[in-house]
Amino acid sequence: MLIQVVNPNTTASMTDLIGRSARAAAGPGTAVVAVNPAMGPVSIESHYDEALAVPGLLAQIAAGEAGGADGHVVACFGDPGLDAARELAAGPVVGIAEAGMRAATFLGRSFGVVTTLARTTGRAWDLAARYGVREQCRTVRAVEIAVLALETDAAARSRIAAECADVVATEGVDAIVLGCAGMADLAAELTVRVGVPVVDGVAAAVVTVEGLVRLGLTTGKRGEFAPPPPKPYAGPLAGFGSRPSGARPPLLTAPPGR
Ligand code: 2AL
């Protein structure tokens, strides 16, 4: 089985970290390829970043399909472009917020999310509602560390650990969900330090995709998630329209410059 994990931002060092977490979670016989787009924001921490990360993400989904991926993970906590990716892919596509939050509901009555910047907490709440876990989600906390600073800020680990501990102490949650793919390497250590299960959405999404593929299950293609209707796209997005022949797969040609 081949699972493609797409970091939708363009920072290769973060893709490496995500790939390590994904490979550690995958079972024997599962190969993981971790990729990021060549175009788009270096990190995703606003609605604007999210919107502009999606074309590059979709190009990677199409490339992964062409390369034989059995399923895909969208490895950003805003789950950008998830529905569009499901239209493109034949196999299952799972987002890390979706997988992380849903996994947390198996681990207790309630959970809290600890994420990067306060401005991203609204999106996390929206996703909790979308995934039907709004009631179990007691809080969404931000440590006010920017995504790329997770790699460089020496105090990041202890700040995140302190916030997780405070969420447990003040909200009485049974589990924590880490709200950024850049925190993927912290889950095991925090589970020990904080004393409740700490969920890394990357690992949760990989095992979810792996399980769905093993069960022979994928996105329902009857209507909403059928491949998008072929049509010309104009301007810099011209490469994202269908091929002149209408041939598929892949539906997308590579974006300009790739
Ligand atoms: C993220 C994430 O997971 N990757 C990224 O670039 N931004 N999410 C976040 N809440 O900061």
CA of 171 to the centre of ligand 1 (A): 24
Q: Give pLDDT tens digits for 156-180.
A: 999 999 999 999 999 999 999 999 9
Got the DSSP string for 144-168?
Answer: ---TTHHHH-TTHHHHHHHHHHHHH
Ligand 1 pocket test: pick from 14, 121, 147, 151 the residue with the most ligand atoms within 8 Å of its Cβ: 147
pLDDT at residue 155 is higher than 80: yes
Q: Is 9 in the pocket of ligand 1 (CB under 6 A)?
A: yes
- Overall average pLDDT of the 48-73 stretch: 97
Give 239 or 131, the one with higher predicted confidence: 131
Q: What are phi and psi of 66, to 5 degrees?
A: -65, -30
CA 163 to centroid of chain Cα atoms: 22
H-assigned helices in 26-155: 47-66, 82-88, 96-105, 121-130, 149-152
Residue nearest to atom 4 of ligand 1 (CA): 76
- Please classify residue 231 by burial: count the beta carbons closer than 10 Å to its beta carbon, then call 0-12 exposed, 13-18 middle and 19+ buried: exposed
Q: What are phi and psi of 249, to 5 degrees?
A: -80, 165
Q: Is 120 in the pocket of ligand 1 (CB under 6 A)?
A: yes
Ligand 1 pocket test: pick from 16, 36, 43 the residue with the most ligand atoms within 8 Å of its Cβ: 43
Number of the ligand 1 atom closest to the C-alpha atom of 120: 10
pLDDT-based confidence at 70, cuts 50/70/90? very high
pLDDT at residue 245 is higher than 50: no
Q: Give pLDDT tens digits for 74-112.
A: 999 999 999 999 999 999 999 999 999 999 999 999 999
Are 142 and 118 spatial neighbours (Cβ–Cβ below 8 Å)?
yes
